[in-house]
Amino acid sequence: MIRVVAVDLDGTLLRSDGTVSPRTVAALRRADRAGARIVICTARPPREIGEIAAAAGVGGTAVCANGAVTYDLATGAIAIVGPLPLDLAERVAAVLGPALDGVGFAVETGRRALIAPGFDHVSSRSIVRVAVASVSALWAEAESCVKLLAWSPAPVTGELIARLQALVPEVTVTWSGGKGMLEISAATVSKADTLTRLCAGWDVPADQVIAFGDMPNDVPMLRWAGVGVAVANAQTQALAAADRVTASNDDDGVAVVLEELFPGGSGVVPAR
């Protein structure tokens, strides 16, 4: 029986235009009616997911900032469960700066993003950005840190992530799809780590969890869940980590699987 449905947002649940299809909303509601918990697991901070969750009809607890933050969608309560110490973030930036041409840094606090000069990542999202005068001001002005963001003109590849990870083994370097943007979290922080702790609190073992994703930051979650599902448009690392591949995000891949799992609320995983 599947008791928890853990689902990434961008590139997985959301279509390329940023919306949730009516078919997917119906499938999520069917799973919810059958008694499954729907848990959004995203790289986005809490402030960016309330409207999406409402459109998808999803409540409960969300895992945000790649596992560093939990967010109660009903009450708006935010808990930082995996902080990145600012002194460590500063040391990591000092190492990565010379290793990436044209790199700029930002600090995600969980409530806002502090942006230093050179961080030229462009996003269509409604991000609460606060410009600071210098990289050193990031560490002085941040009240907390849940992710260090590094942007450079260089394309993000698996080889680049592996090279940078070797330079800074005390943190986790990953990528969730932003062009040129790397995300650095505390070494023990991931979507999988926080989802594991939530499920333990609900007395739900991994084999009763299905997880959906598309990017390298989803890989630990896909591997941990009893069933890991990658959408067809997923990156190579996510495809390799998954137990099965469904249709793309634009072809309602999450809904395809949930309709199989909960045709009448049964929740039994179909044979692969």
The mean of the pLDDT values for the chain is 93
Say what percent of the chain tops pLDDT 90: 88
Give me the helices (H) in 14-145, please.
22-33, 50-56, 86-99, 135-141
Question: Does some domain include residue 270?
Answer: no
Task: Supply φ then ψ for residue 247, to 5 degrees.
Answer: -65, 170
For residues 194 and 166, membership in a common domain is answered with no
Q: What is the model's pLDDT at position 123?
A: 63
CB 199 within 8 A of CB 191: no
Q: What is the model's pLDDT at position 129?
A: 80
Section 130-144 average pLDDT: 95
Among 127, 159, 186, the domain boundary falls at 186
Question: Does some domain include residue 125?
Answer: yes
Q: What is the model's pLDDT at position 154?
A: 87
Residue with tokens 């780590």: 193
Query: Model confidence at 176, in pLDDT bands (50, 70, 90)?
Result: confident
> In the chain, how many H helices and how many E strands?
9, 14
Among 183, 216, 187, residue whose Cα is nearest residue 107:
183
In the predicted model, is pLDDT for residue 199 greater than 90?
yes
For residues 91 and 181, membership in a common domain is answered with yes
Report the predicted TM-score, pTM, of the whole model to 2 decimal places.
0.93
| Distance separating alpha carbons of residues 216 and 214, to the nearest angstrom | 7
Query: Model confidence at 265, in pLDDT bands (50, 70, 90)?
Result: low
Model pLDDT for residues 62-99, shown as the tens digit of each residue: 999 999 999 999 999 999 999 999 999 999 999 999 99
Q: What is the model's pLDDT at position 224?
A: 98
Model pLDDT for residues 106-129, shown as the tens digit of each residue: 999 999 999 999 998 766 555 578
Q: How many CB atoms lie within 10 A of CB 245?
A: 15
Among 88, 90, 93, 65, residue whose Cα is nearest residue 78:
65
Question: Does some domain include residue 210?
Answer: yes
Q: What is the model's pLDDT at position 110?
A: 93
Among 153, 186, 219, the domain boundary falls at 186
- What are the Cα distances from residue 196, in Å, to 19, 36, 237, 245? 28, 16, 21, 22
Section 219-248 average pLDDT: 98
Query: Model confidence at 271, in pLDDT bands (50, 70, 90)?
Result: very low
- DSSP classification of residue 57: T
| Distance separating alpha carbons of residues 14 and 119, to the nearest angstrom | 26
For residues 34 and 165, membership in a common domain is answered with no
Q: What is the model's pLDDT at position 117?
A: 94
Q: How many CB atoms lie within 10 A of CB 254?
A: 27
What domain range is 112 assigned to?
Answer: 86-186
Section 120-142 average pLDDT: 83
Q: What is the model's pLDDT at position 245?
A: 98
Q: What is the model's pLDDT at position 120?
A: 84
For residues 66 and 90, membership in a common domain is answered with no
For residues 57 and 128, membership in a common domain is answered with no
Question: Does some domain include residue 138?
Answer: yes
Residues in the chain: 272
In the predicted model, is pLDDT for residue 267 greater than 70?
no
Model pLDDT for residues 4-56, shown as the tens digit of each residue: 999 999 999 999 999 999 999 999 999 999 999 999 999 999 999 999 999 99
Domain count, the chain: 2
Q: What is the model's pLDDT at position 122?
A: 67
Residue 173, domain CATH:
3.30.1240.10
Q: What is the model's pLDDT at position 127?
A: 59
